[in-house]
A and B are shown apart, each in its own frame.
Chain A
Amino acid sequence: EAQVTQNPRYLITVTGKKLTVTCSQNMNHEYMSWYRQDPGLGLRQIYYSMNVEVTDKGDVPEGYKVSRKEKRNFPLILESPSPNQTSLYFCASSSTRTSGRLADTQYFGPGTRLTVL
C-alpha cells in the first residue's frame, strides 16, 4: 500500500529537549516536504526536498532542521524545541514528472501532534 508514515503520532516534550520526527514514504517519490498546521494560520511549509541531499527552506524554517540522506526518509529535527513549536505537523511526498512539474498527487502522512511545555 502506497503510504507516508510519521512517527511519533503524538509527542509531549519540554523546552530545549532535542527531538526528531521521522517521515518515510514507500512510493519512490523525489519530492518530500514538511508542514505545520496551526489554527487560523493554515498549513505552512517548513522545509522541502527535491531529492536526496537537496533541501530548501519553506516559509517557516526557523527552529527546524531536516536531512535527506535517503530517498525514502525525510526526518524533521527540532534541536531546541520551544512552546511556539507546539503544532500539528504533516510530512508529504510527491513525484516530479520528467517535464519538471510537481505531480498532481501529494500524499500526506497522518500527522504528528507535538506539544512543547
Chain B
Amino acid sequence: RKEVEQDPGPFNVPEGATVAFNCTYSNSASQSFFWYRQDCRKEPKLLMSVYSSGNEDGRFTAQLNRASQYISLLIRDSKLSDSATYLCAASWRAGSYQLTFGKGTKLSVIP
C-alpha cells in the first residue's frame, strides 16, 4: 500500500511565527510531490509543487529529500490568513497515475 504520512497536528502558532510541516511517503518510485491548502469545507487548492532542488514562493519554502523520502513545507512570518489545513500529496506512475494525499495538518495562526 502506498502511503503518505503527515504530522498529526493541530499546530497553533502566534502571528509572525515560523512553522514547518513534514510529510513522509512510502513509495520510493513517487515522481511528483505537492502541497495543497484546504480551507474549511472548501476544495483543496495547490499551494506549491515540490522540486528536487527545493523551491520558494514568498513566505513559503518547500523541500524534497528523496533519500529519506520526505517533503517539507516551511511558512515564515505566519499570517492569520494562513490558518487552514495543509495536505501533502505524492504521485507515481505504474501503468497509469495515482495521486495519494496525506490526511492533512491543521494550522491555526493566533493573533
Q: Please, which residues of chain A bring their CB within 8 A of the CB of B46?
A: 104-106
Choose one: A35, A41, A101; the contact of B103 (CB below 8 Å). Answer: A41
Q: Is the CB of B97 within 8 A of A48?
A: yes
Q: Is the CB of A104 within 8 A of B49?
A: yes
Q: Is the CB of A106 within 8 A of B87?
A: no
- A31 at interface (Cβ–Cβ under 8 A)? yes
Known A-B contacts A31-B97, A106-B46, A108-B45; A101 and B87 likewise in contact (beta carbons under 8 Å): no
Residues of A contacting B: mostly: strand
Q: Please, which residues of chain A bring their CB within 8 A of the CB of B32?
A: 101-102, 104
State how many residues of chain B have any CB contact under 8 Å with chain A. 23
The docked-state distance in angstroms from the alpha carbon of A90 to that of B41 is: 11
Q: Tell me the residues in window 42-97 of chain A with beta carbons closer than 8 Å to chain B beta carbons.
A: 42-45, 48, 50, 54, 56, 58-59, 88, 90, 96
Q: Is the CB of A42 within 8 A of B93?
A: no
Q: Is the CB of A109 within 8 A of B97?
A: no
State how many residues of chain A have any CB contact under 8 Å with chain B. 28
Q: Is the CB of A58 within 8 A of B98?
A: yes
Q: Please, which residues of chain B bring their CB within 8 A of the CB of A31?
A: 97
Q: Please, which residues of chain A bring their CB within 8 A of the CB of B18?
A: none
The docked-state distance in angstroms from the alpha carbon of A36 to that of B104 is: 14
Q: Given A35-B101, A90-B43, A110-B42, list of 11 further CB < 8 A pairs?
A: A31-B97, A42-B87, A43-B44, A48-B98, A54-B96, A59-B100, A96-B97, A101-B93, A106-B46, A106-B99, A111-B42
Binding site for A on B (CB under 8 A): 31-32, 34, 41-46, 49, 87, 91, 93, 95-104
Binding site for B on A (CB under 8 A): 31, 33, 35, 40-45, 48, 50, 54, 56, 58-59, 88, 90, 96, 100-102, 104-106, 108-111
A-B pairs with beta carbons under 8 Å apart, 5 shown: A43-B101, A45-B100, A54-B96, A101-B31, A102-B99
